[in-house]
Structure 1
Amino acid sequence: MLEALLLLAVGMLASICGAVAGLGGGFIIVPVLAFLYTIPVASISGTSMAVLFVSAISSTIAYARQRRIDYRSGLAFSVAMIPGSVLGALTTTVVGSRTFFVALGIFLMIMAVMINFKPTSSRGGWLRPNTHHRLIDQSGQVHEYSFNMWFGCVVALFVGFLSSLFGIGGGSVMVPTMILFLAFPPHIATATSMFSILLSSFVGTISHVSLGHVMWDKFIWLAIGALVGGQIGARIASKIPAKAVVRVLAVCLFVVAVRMLFKG
């Protein structure tokens, strides 16, 4: 019973943090499972991915009510993520490159710092905007931004692979990319990221389930916590200013980076 309560709390905390920052929460679940149990990396990634899917459902429902999801961009990004999600699930049993983990950790630390800087309005080359979107959220606030859709989709493909491979949620790369390089408003970026994660994590979860990577006895309690946490996290995100969302994201990215640097 104590183990069930612990997993329930972990699922809730991970989902709250994941929803606020748009990361999904796997950056908490993966290290906790690795610390508590002696199990294969594939089982950790698979279970975390399945919980991520549940968390994304809960968060997306809440963000949809707030009208902060850019559905057109989210659908495009999620379609690009799907091939990467399948490849990531197939790769979990063979990956073990220390260099790769270190490189990813350093990259995320750099992003944690850069995310605090305002996106430049003079983007050119492969960052030159080719799409303009305008959203009005539930509070009546107008969000207008222009970005390069092709660049976003290329990043999403890579994100889908990382998400399924590590079970950490591709938002750790996608959200800072959306804010820093695609000039998405922070609130729209986190909400749209969770929507994209919902669609891509479904494919990743199915892939992991078919490969027998999900530990169902642990998944149940983590998922119950994630369902509750996703609603709470989305509500917290709606109450805090955009700058605070960025600060939370930076801290979460740093945590993920440290996890990657000391993995294995």
Structure 2
Amino acid sequence: MSEPLIELKGISKSFGSSVILDQVNLTIYQGDALAIIGPSGTGKSTILRIIAGLLAPDAGEIYVQGKRRQGLIEDAEDPINIGMVFQQAALFDSLTVEENVGFLLFEHSKLGYRRIRELVEEKLEMVGLGGMSDRYPSQLSGGMRKRVSFARAIMSNPDSSQDTPEVLLYDEPTAGLDPIASTVIEDLVRQLQRQQGGCGSYVMVTHQDSTIRRTSDRIVFLYQGQIQWSGATSEIDTTDDPLVRQFFSASVTGPIHVVG
């Protein structure tokens, strides 16, 4: 395989007396469509925030394109840009769609207003929201807000290749959406992976069956702070692993502890 884009070695994280991650090893490669799955409350979003550099582990090492990360993303830039799509879209309610999508360029680039507007409209077209730049988040459906957050995540500065995202992190992008809206988002994830100007590598945190099957090529199963199973998405219906079998059958009987 090629050199990993991101590598986690022995990552541990606790909150109080609760051990969330326990010596987790994870490697992300160029072109990965990786899903991190498992029951609720098992640390899936925590590991995503650690990858993004928004949360520091208690122990372990993080390497980004072979360079060890020291501290959080605010302490030192990674060799590559890592974008994140949050579960609740995390848009600024007081800003228009254009201002949300172009936020980093408006705040941190020397590009002129007209050029930023062109780039924003280009990204909105990519996510199927052309002509929506003057809307506010409150005027959009849940699925549309998710797509705006996708456009913001893939926004790049043409004057700085360092600002172009190499990896996207998706935190439950279809949570709370109806099946049709979920399908739109799932298709968009794959489309952005293939499309020029999108992002060819991503990590998807989800527990929804259709999202797992339609957006991932590779899966790791996180439970009790550790990766208990990993394999190709095509293996989830044939593996004998009892955790995977229980998870996808939605059975209350099995090794996964059901909280009453």
**TM-score, normalised to structure 1's length?**
0.28
Greater helix proportion: 1
Structure number with higher relative contact order (C-alpha < 8 Å, ≥ 6 residues apart): 1
Greater strand proportion: 2
Q: Which has the larger radius of gyration?
A: 2
